[in-house]
Chain A
Amino acid sequence: GNSVTQMEGPVTLSEEAFLTINCTYTATGYPSLFWYVQYPGEGLQLLLKATKADDKGSNKGFEATYRKETTSFHLEKGSVQVSDSAVYFCASNAGGTSYGKLTFGQGTILTVHP
């Protein structure tokens, strides 16, 4: 079946540190891949996406590259800020008979300290 596995947290960093949150997927067909962010008390917001191999999604200083050979979509940011503290979810749109349904990873809690 389709699944998404992401790095377990929580992740605690100091401001301006480099961030990597790992995400790998299994899927039949050629999925689209997404990163969502959830701030406290809010719903999930789309952070970035990539729809085919070697695509790079980017937004607000975050980047992720669709790596088909390693079935990965790792989230990176060069210099995190306190305001980046949130929960991050990786997701896959598996396609095929799953139509548009997204499969989500478990979420990674990120806390950034001043």
Chain B
Amino acid sequence: DAGITQSPRHKVTETGTPVTLRCHQTENHRYMYWYRQDPGHGLRLIHYSYGVKDTDKGEVSDGYSVSRSKTEDFLLTLESATSSQTSVYFCATQAGQAYGYTFGSGTRLTVV
């Protein structure tokens, strides 16, 4: 079983609709992160979580919300999708502060 599973892998949605991306981990890692990856911008942090119900904003959090009701699941919601949110979204987990990340395979989201 993959340690981190992102779903869906691909999604096309219309402007103005809500969208939820899911990240599921079997690593029992405390820390979880959502990034978006865009050409020319590298990886940008959207939101992160240091534990169940403990979340905070990253550098590009406008238009996004997150929830973490269980250790293994971290949900990213685009409240009303816009074309500027077309991107590849990556979830990452981290065992502790001194460790690197383990990344999921990504979700490619297209907003039309």
- Chain A contacts to B: CB under 8 angstroms: 32, 34, 36, 42-46, 49, 51, 89, 91, 93, 95, 99-102, 104-107
Residue of A nearest to B39 (CB): A107
Shortest distance in angstroms between A92's beta carbon and chain B's nearest beta carbon? 11
Cβ contact within 8 Å between B31 and A89: no
Residue of B nearest to A49 (CB): B100
B103 is an interface residue with CB less than 8 A from chain A: yes
Cβ contact within 8 Å between A99 and B90: no
- Chain B contacts to A: CB under 8 angstroms: 31, 33, 40-43, 45, 48, 50, 90, 92, 94, 96-106
Q: How far is the CA of A106 from the CA of B40 in the complex (A)?
A: 7
Cβ contact within 8 Å between B97 and A44: no
Q: How far is the CA of A16 from the CA of B12 in the complex (A)?
A: 41
Give chain A residues whose Cβ lies under 8 Å from the Cβ of B106: 42-43
Give chain A residues whose Cβ lies under 8 Å from the Cβ of B99: 100
Cβ contact within 8 Å between B90 and A43: yes
Closest 7 A/B residue pairs (Cβ): A43-B103, A100-B97, A106-B42, A44-B103, A104-B43, A46-B100, A43-B105
The 8 Å CB contact of A101, one of B41, B45, B102, B103, is: B45
